[in-house]
Amino acid sequence: MLNVRLFDITTLLFGVASVNYVAALYGKKVILARIGTWVCVAAAIVSTAAIGVRWAESYKMGIGRIPVTNLYESLVFFAWSVNLFYLAVEWKYRSRTFGAFVIPIAFGTMLFAFTNESSIQPLVPALQSYWLHAHVITCFVGYAGFAVSAGVAVMFLMKAKQEERKVTGGVVGLFPPTKVLDELVYRAIIWGFPFLTAGIITGAAWANYAWGTYWSWDPKETWSLIVWLVYAAFLHARVTRGWHGRRAAILSIVGFLATIFCYLGVNLVLSGLHSYGGA
């Protein structure tokens, strides 16, 4: 199918962008980072077209559904979201060093998507609801924010370690100041948290529509709550306790690991009402 070929091209573009960003850091070549940016822009265009084509192809097959309902589709949508969020961050902060830590997440996601069934399948009855659109889209926009926050948190820890040793120069020396990195870790979570909250609320409404109950302590629901609590704790500690620096960066990384398990681990390892997400 055309959409799959377009997603294959997107994967290649993410791989090229990742190599360029990393090479730009180690080789200190600005031109490579600029190429990485334009490759990411191309990936955004191609992946957006791929999502549109897949949606249109589903209508031609008589299925007619938004392409975010199985694991393959959710993975490519997640990578698409991460890329767009990254490009917005790069534009706002005028730094391409973030690309070496964020775009590989999108690239790895697309590689994992390759291992899953890519055909367009009819919706199972529980998914046939307009709540699907609001729930899935808001969740993945939130996940994208958390991915960027975690990538920047890794950069912060590396930069802070270098500053403690009073070392300048090198690859880490090209990173923005720790103050900027710390602020971005926080800002990305501020962006993602409301979307995660909206995703949980719309998911509860969808659950009531599909299964007659707003909350059933299904593994997916439980882990969604855990993720929400981790990021709520981050924001609470930041606002009331003034948490900055290393503790905040570590909590951001922990939150993203919990997010990944909620997204993939629950669907692939645990059984429950959301298990069909891995089909």
Digit-coded pLDDT (tens) for 46-57: 999 999 999 999
What's the pLDDT at 83? 96
Same domain, residue pair 153 and 106: no
Pick the more confident residue, 66 or 227. Answer: 227
Same domain, residue pair 103 and 139: no
Given CA atoms 118, 120, 122, 125 in this order, what sign does their dihedral have?
positive
User: Is 78 domain-assigned?
Assistant: no
Same domain, residue pair 169 and 189: yes
221 in Cβ contact with 168 (< 8 Å): no
Name the least confident of 47-56, 98-107, 121-130, 179-188: 121-130
Same domain, residue pair 115 and 133: no
Same domain, residue pair 161 and 56: no
User: Is 76 domain-assigned?
Assistant: no
Same domain, residue pair 48 and 133: no
Examine the pLDDT at 278 and tell me if it is beyond 60.
Answer: no
Match 């265009």 to its residue by tokens. Answer: 45
What's the pLDDT at 76? 94
Same domain, residue pair 104 and 152: no
pTM over 0.75: yes
Tokens of 143: 């996940």
Pick the more confident residue, 124 or 196. Answer: 196
Q: Which long-range contacts (CB under 8 A, 24 or more apart) does 155-159 make?
A: 155/97, 155/98, 155/101, 155/181, 156/181, 156/182, 156/185, 156/245, 156/246, 156/249, 157/246, 157/249, 157/250
Same domain, residue pair 60 and 142: no
User: Is 79 domain-assigned?
Assistant: no
State how far Cα 7 lies from the chain centre: 17
- The band of 195, judged by pLDDT with boundaries at 50, 70 and 90, is very high
Number of domains making up the chain? 2
231 in Cβ contact with 195 (< 8 Å): no
User: Is 87 domain-assigned?
Assistant: no
User: Is 71 domain-assigned?
Assistant: no
User: Is 84 domain-assigned?
Assistant: no
User: Is 77 domain-assigned?
Assistant: no
User: Is 176 domain-assigned?
Assistant: yes
Same domain, residue pair 101 and 213: no
Same domain, residue pair 115 and 128: no
Examine the pLDDT at 169 and tell me if it is beyond 90.
Answer: no
d(CA 271, CA 279): 12
- Mean pLDDT, residues 224-247 taken together: 91
Same domain, residue pair 137 and 275: yes
Query: Residue 106 is part of which domain span?
Result: 1-66+95-121
Same domain, residue pair 44 and 109: yes
